[in-house]
Amino acid sequence: MTNKELADLIFPNITKTIEDLRKEYPKRNLPEGAIVTRYAPSPTGFVHVGALFACFVARTFATQSNGVLFLRIEDTDTKRTVDNGISTIINGLKEYNVTFDEGPINDEGDSIGNYGPYIQSQRKEIYQVFVKHLLEQGLAYPCFCNNEELETMRQKQEKTKARIGYYGPWATCRNLSNEQRAERIKNGEPYIIRLKSNGNYNKKIICHDEIRGDLAFPENDVDIVINKSDGLPTYHFAHLVDDYLMGTTHVIRADEWIASFPLHYQLFQMFGFEVPKYAHISPLSKVEDGKTRKLSKRKDPEAAMSYYYELGIPYEAVRLYLATIANSGFEVWHAANPKADISEYKFEFSKMSKSPSLFDLDKLNFICKEYISTLKAEDLYKDVANYLKVFDAEFEKLFTRNPEYSIGFLNIEREQKKPRKDIAYYSDVKKEMWYMFDELFTYKWEDEKDSNAEILLDYMNNYYNENDTQQEWFEKVTEFGRKYNYVPMKEYKVSPDEFKGHTGMICEMLRYIVTTKHQSPNLYDILKLLRKDRIINRIEKYLKK
Ligand code: GLU
């Protein structure tokens, strides 16, 4: 029995050839050097911040080379598929400006682009054309080993300290004749299809990585499964077929796939296809108990994108941070060009880290504060209101009741050389602003009361004028202070015993009474926003303490 006859027995309905398919997936018409790359998640509905990072990198390289980024859903492992898995991925990434030029656009099966279907479970026959081709060439074979037999083999390998896997002498189904194969298939025995590896474990294969350079591995000699019993391919085989047909020039993916690198090289070479370029991205990591480890979906809340939404971490700040991690030169460039868009920076694979990159929330927090300090108060107001709508409806009511009032508060110490940097996340706004709303205002009653506070009523009634400029305001505070023996710092310092205190102490008292804090944005502005009556109310409330 010839290989062709066996292939026809296994795939009687597959009549297309690789050549036929090639015509359906013509070469893309793109400028020289354009990078075609993809994001290829399983539709689990979960986006890990590491995946966002990889996607951000892929989007950046595709955009700056006038190339293409497409989305491919890898659902050949049907157990991992969840409802709304696709839209969750698309919507989650869109917020970070990671959009796809091609691929599925919703959960209803719609997609854009000419290189689909972009969902692997819809490509079964396409993969089978390639499997059939290998069968015809005698480079693949059906394997009838059941789980029990494979387990016995594994135990034997363990005992004899042999390498684990289905290869060489261990690959028993490799040696069956086509007649034996055909007979067992006709008898209804379950089987899968394995690659008949042509690799020699004692020989080296050099695989080139765009980030890490040349890497040497033993050649792959394992007869890996390429087609499962449900007719769908394994990840490795689908990777070969899809990235070949879809014209991927660069495979940008997590470094957990480095171990499969020699196998993937081998697959492309066995078909005589050009091997795409690979860039394996180092994982985002954190330091725990002095040790560096990968950010874990199980242990680290910040691994999930939901963490960023819930805290109200600005999308653009996250992008800035990802850019900082992606290329070592970015941070310096951004500091020199604070107004320039991220896309104006030229990212390079060679500037990406070969070792795990520290994902540091303190650093992110710092970048958020910097970023928010550059926003116009009106824009920040809108972002915060949008955030509150979802995560804090109660505070949203107060915050949006009088937009001018909230914008006024956000605008304090904003458009100036050294702007205020107390807000990192949208959720911080309530923490920094609650005292501006009478509904939330309350003293920490355990704090010791300032017995001199009474004099502030005199100040409010006889000195404070809402229309004063900041300078006039301060002059009046000084004048008022003198009346009660509080003098400017310069005088006070010379002979502190002679005076009750210095002018700053008046401001301190006032600040504490209206904000319950010892530090706040510019007091003059806060007083102006609160207005005279409410300030007097607060002083009276305080005096009753
Ligand atoms: N589906 C694979 C994953 O989830 C894709 C890896 C790749 O990009 O090739 O990691």
74 CB under 6 A from ligand 1? yes
Atom 1 (ligand 1): residue with closest C-alpha? 41
DSSP 78-137: GGG--TTHHHHHHHHHHTTT---SBEE-STTS-EESSS---BGGG-HHHHHHHHHHHHHT
Q: Identify the H or E element spanning 357.
A: strand 357-358
What is the predicted pLDDT for the residue at 278? Answer: 98
506: Cβ contacts below 8 Å, ≥ 6 apart: 456, 459, 477, 480, 481, 486
Find how far residue 428's CA is from the centre of its chain: 21
Q: Are residues 260 and 287 in contact, defined by beta-carbon separation less than 8 angstroms? A: no
**pLDDT of 81:** 66
SS3 assignment, position 192? strand
List the structure tokens of 365: 């927090």
Cα distances (angstroms) measured from residue 28 to each of 25, 113, 360, 384:
8, 11, 40, 43
Q: How far is the CA of 63 from the centre of ligand 1 (A)?
A: 21
For residue 6, the surrounding DSSP H or E stretch is helix 3-10
Domain with residues 3-15+124-281, CATH architecture: 3-Layer(aba) Sandwich (3.40)
3-15+124-281 and 441-545, same CATH topology: no
The Cα 279–Cα 276 span in angstroms is 10
Among 240, 257, 261, 264, residue to substitute to test ligand 1 (most atoms within 8 Å of Cβ): 257
Give me ligand 1 centre to Cα 276, in Å.
15
What CATH number does domain 441-545 carry, 3.40.47.10, 1.10.10.350, 1.10.3720.10, 3.40.50.10860? Answer: 1.10.10.350
Chain centre distance of CA 447: 43
Cβ(466)–Cβ(496) below 8 Å: no
Question: Phi/psi at 280 (nearest 5 deg)?
Answer: -95, 120
How far, in Å, is the centroid of ligand 1 from the Cα of 41? 6
Name the β-bridge partners of 205.
217
Q: Which amino acid is at 311?
A: L
CB distance 38 to ligand 1 below 6 Å: no
Of 18, 275, 268, nearest in space to 136 by CA? 18
Backbone φ and ψ of 157, nearest 5°? -65, -40
Residues forming a β-bridge with 278:
209, 251
Q: CA 441, 445, 446, 450 torsion: positive or negative?
A: positive
**Which class for 338: exposed (0-12), middle (13-18), buried (19 or more C-beta within 10 A)?**
exposed
Query: What pLDDT is attached to residue 43?
Result: 87
Q: How far is the CA of 80 from the centre of ligand 1 (A)?
A: 13
- Do you find a cis peptide bond into 26, omega within 30 degrees of 0? no
* Residue among 34, 95, 96, 106 at smallest CA distance from 63: 34
Whether 267 and 236 have beta carbons less than 8 Å apart is answered as yes
Predicted pLDDT of residue 113? 97
Top mutation candidate among 48, 74, 80, 209 for ligand 1, by most atoms within 8 Å of CB: 74
Distance 151 CA to ligand 1 centre (A): 27
Alpha-carbon distance of 226 to 271, in angstroms, equals 14
**Secondary structure (H, E, C), 291-353:** EEEECCCCCCHHHEHHHHHHHCCCHHHHHHHHHHHHCCCHHHHHHHCCCCCHHHCCCCHHHCC
**Minimum-distance ligand 1 atom for the alpha carbon of 256:** 10
From the CA of 40, how far away is ligand 1's center (Å)? 5
Q: Which atom of ligand 1 is nearest to the CA of 239?
A: 9
Which DSSP state fits 168?
A: G
Amino acid letter for position 26: P
Q: Which of 83, 122, 133, 116 is nearest to 231 (CA)?
A: 122
Ligand 1 close to Cβ of residue 41 (< 6 A): yes
CA pair distance 125, 137, nearest whole angstrom: 18
- Going from N- to C-terminal start, the domains of the chain cover 3-15+124-281, 376-438, 441-545
- Give residues with Cβ within 8 angstroms of 469, minimum separation 6: none
> 29: how many CB neighbours lie within 10 A of its CB?
6
Closest-CA residue, ligand 1 atom 8, reads 253
Calculate how far, in angstroms, residue 112's C-alpha sits from the geometric centre of ligand 1: 21
d(C-alpha 381, C-alpha 409), whole Å: 10
The reply to whether ligand 1 has any atom less than 6 angstroms from the CB of 428 is: no
Distance 476 CA to ligand 1 centre (A): 68
Cβ neighbourhood burial of 138 (10 Å; 0-12, 13-18, 19+): middle
The enclosing H or E element of 38 equals strand 36-39
Burial class (CB in 10 A: 0-12, 13-18, 19+), 93: buried
Ligand 1: which of 36, 38, 39, 42 to mutate, most ligand atoms within 8 Å of CB? 42
42 lines ligand 1 (CB under 6 A): yes
Q: How far is the CA of 72 from the centre of ligand 1 (A)?
A: 9
Nearest atom, ligand 1, residue 257 CA = 6
Q: Give pLDDT, residue 401.
A: 98
25 with 57: CB under 8 angstroms? no
Atom of ligand 1 nearest to the CA of 38: 8
pLDDT tens for each residue of the chain, 545 residues long: 999 999 999 999 999 999 999 999 999 999 999 999 999 999 887 789 999 999 999 999 999 999 999 999 999 887 766 778 899 999 999 999 999 999 999 999 899 999 999 999 999 999 999 999 999 999 999 999 999 999 999 999 999 999 999 999 999 999 999 999 999 999 999 999 999 999 999 999 999 999 999 999 999 999 999 999 999 999 999 999 999 999 999 999 999 999 999 999 999 999 999 999 999 999 999 999 999 999 999 999 999 999 999 999 999 999 999 999 999 899 999 999 988 999 999 999 999 999 999 999 999 999 999 999 999 999 999 999 999 999 999 999 999 999 999 999 999 999 999 999 999 999 999 999 999 999 999 988 777 778 888 999 999 999 999 999 999 999 999 999 999 999 999 999 999 999 999 999 999 999 999 999 999 999 999 999 999 999 999 999 999 87
Alpha carbon 73 to its chain centroid, in Å, reads 18
Whole-number pLDDT of residue 199: 97
| Triad 287, 292, 296: Cα angle to 5° | 80
43 ligand 1 Cβ < 6 A: no
Q: Angle of helix 377-391 relative to helix 393-401, nearest 10 degrees? A: 150
| Amino acid identity at 420 | R
262 lines ligand 1 (CB under 6 A): no
